[in-house]
Amino acid sequence: MRIVVALGGNALQKRGEPMTAENQRINVQIAAKQLAKVAKEHELVMAHGNGPQVGLLGLQNDAYARHVDAKVTPYPLDVLGAETQGMIGYMIQQELGNELPAEKPIATILTQVEVDANDQAFKNPTKFVGPVYDQAESERLAKENGWVVKADGKYFRRVVPSPKPKRIFEIRPIKWLIEKGTIVIAVGGGGIPTMFDQSGKKLSGIAAVIDKDLASCLLAREVNAEYFLIATDVTAVFVDWGTPQARAIKMIHPDELSRMAFDAGSMGAKVDAACEFARLSGKRAVIGALEDIDKIIHGQAGTIVSTEKAGIEWY
């Protein structure tokens, strides 16, 4: 069975942890032990988040500018995205390889993803990226760099568009590698956001962040995955989360799930991706905890999103 697993950012960087290479390595080791169980029995394709890592690189760039006390053009988001794909892919390849037979091939594909210039997201940037600033500094940086900044709690941060993924440029080599038995790591962080110019001939990176779950959904559909697993830090999708009435969903039709309200910044994107995959592929999407991966594959854990039957089944 061909399974696409989308690793949430929490699988690589726990909330509240210092953003060190050592901590990230430890978290990847934990994830690799679970993913190896899948790879030993199934075809495994992986995607991952990169939010904390891009944020760290942004902080480093900011610190450098302050150190040299001169105007330094920040590294663009597409370049930061490419850097994190290589860094995270390297750690996953190595630690997953330590859990599997040496002859099992594993490859990270630097993945560019096309977005539409007419996507409505460009009219209202909403995705926070990079360091926090006070209001005066944020306004200065916005003016100097052409940024859009918005309040994030009591501080201010840069915001960029989050357009929908349209096309994965490296999908052919991804498929070739899968056909040769390779575990493929692709569309890291949602992919490097790219766009053609008006001539339709020149491709370039843009300042945007593609949602990792939607890009992973596109990847799962393109490689004809039989299972799309969104691994997060909760055991299932809950209604009335955080209240005494909280209930976990075992199986649900995407139409039913789409009518429910979830936080757009966390579970909402995962729900949207799972519903899209189930509707367009006719296959199962599952949202659940990485540590339950064995049970999830056997339908014993997580929330299954499927068009197989109407209604809701509860735990």
DSSP assignment of 92-149:
HHHHHHHHS-TTS-EEE---EEE--TT-GGGGS--EEEEEEE-HHHHHHHHHHHT-EE
Checking DSSP bridges between strand 203-205 and strand 227-232, what pairing results, if any?
unpaired
Find out whether 223 and 45 touch, Cβ atoms under 8 Å.
yes
Catalytic sites, residue numbers: 9-10, 127, 212, 270
For the chain, what is the domain count? Answer: 1
Predicted pLDDT of residue 129: 83
Q: What is the CATH number of the domain that holds 213?
A: 3.40.1160.10
Closest Cα partner for 46 from 103, 94, 99, 8? 8
Q: Which domain holds residue 187?
A: 2-51+74-114+165-314
Domain assignment of residue 257, yes or no: yes
Domain assignment of residue 197, yes or no: yes
Predicted pLDDT of residue 11: 67
Predicted pLDDT of residue 127: 87
Predicted pLDDT of residue 133: 87
Predicted pLDDT of residue 144: 83
Domain assignment of residue 45, yes or no: yes
State pLDDT tens for residues 138-170: 998 888 888 899 998 889 988 999 999 999 999
Is this model's pTM higher than 0.85 or not? yes
81 Cβ neighbours under 8 A, 6+ residues apart: 50, 54, 188, 189, 190, 191, 192, 193, 205, 209
d(CA 194, CA 113): 6
Q: How far is CA 201 from CA 118, 169, 211, in A?
A: 17, 14, 25
Domain assignment of residue 259, yes or no: yes
Q: Which residues of the chain have pLDDT under 50?
A: none
Domain assignment of residue 155, yes or no: no
Predicted pLDDT of residue 174: 98
Enter the tokens of residue 166. Answer: 């349209």
Predicted pLDDT of residue 152: 87
Find out whether 131 and 62 touch, Cβ atoms under 8 Å.
yes
Domain assignment of residue 16, yes or no: yes
Domain assignment of residue 293, yes or no: yes
d(CA 262, CA 252): 15
Domain assignment of residue 144, yes or no: no
Predicted pLDDT of residue 69: 65
